Amino acid sequence: MQQERFVHEYLATSPLNATLAYQRAGYKATGQAARTAAARLLKQPAIQAAIAALRAKDAAKFEVTRERVIEEYAKLAFFDPRKFYNEDGSLKLPTELADAEAAALVSFKVDEEYDAPPPDQELEGQPHGGALKRQRAKTVAVGRTVEVRYSKKREALDSLVNLMGWKKEEKPLGTAENPLTMVVKEMQGRKSALTPVVDTDRDE
């Protein structure tokens, strides 16, 4: 059924994209018609209920709770970059990191440079007498560069603020609470320096 497939395709897109899900579900409309139809489909109560049911099922299966999500965001928001290093200034291995720093770790890259000194030489005795010279190549590490990338704290903090409902929504222009609207209302009904004046003495 196309509607069922639409629900699955919608939840499979990241970021969520109703138009793309609409097309993947096999509907024929394209362009603006597809966008309009997808938006209309997404508003249907049956579709919204199916989406909510699938999300609840996935959350239960993978034990995704609001508390766990907040906990992980808190790790990313409050980890201490100094804890990536030992007291002597050397960088810790990923296995040595605490939970918060390990969660914040995005990538850990190690580049090592090697030099090739003259090979080792050894003599190997032969059954018929004499010796055969053999050489064994060797390499010596002469440099090591470690690159660490960790998550951006600002993005995690913004996500936490949104989850906790701490973000203050700006009052749109035109609402009664907006300062601009209040100033305009105060100016109405009384003469203002901004009120246009007709100059009757000016020659036409």
Tell me which residue of 98, 94, 122, 88 sits closest to 108, measured CA to CA. Answer: 94
Query: Whole-structure pTM over 0.75, yes or no?
Result: no
For 85-131, the pLDDT digits (tens) are: 999 988 898 899 999 999 999 998 878 787 777 777 777 777 776 67
> Tell me, what CATH number does 37's domain have?
1.10.10.1400
184 in a domain, yes or no?
no
pLDDT at position 193 is 47
Strands 140-150 and 131-136: unpaired
**Mean confidence (pLDDT) of the chain:** 82
Tell me which residue of 105, 63, 62 sits closest to 83, measured CA to CA. Answer: 105
Range of the domain at 51: 2-61
67 in a domain, yes or no?
no
pLDDT at position 35 is 95
For 24-51, the pLDDT digits (tens) are: 999 999 999 999 999 999 999 999 999 9
Please give the tally of structural domains in the chain.
Answer: 2
Between helices 2-12 and 31-42, what is the axis angle to 10°?
90
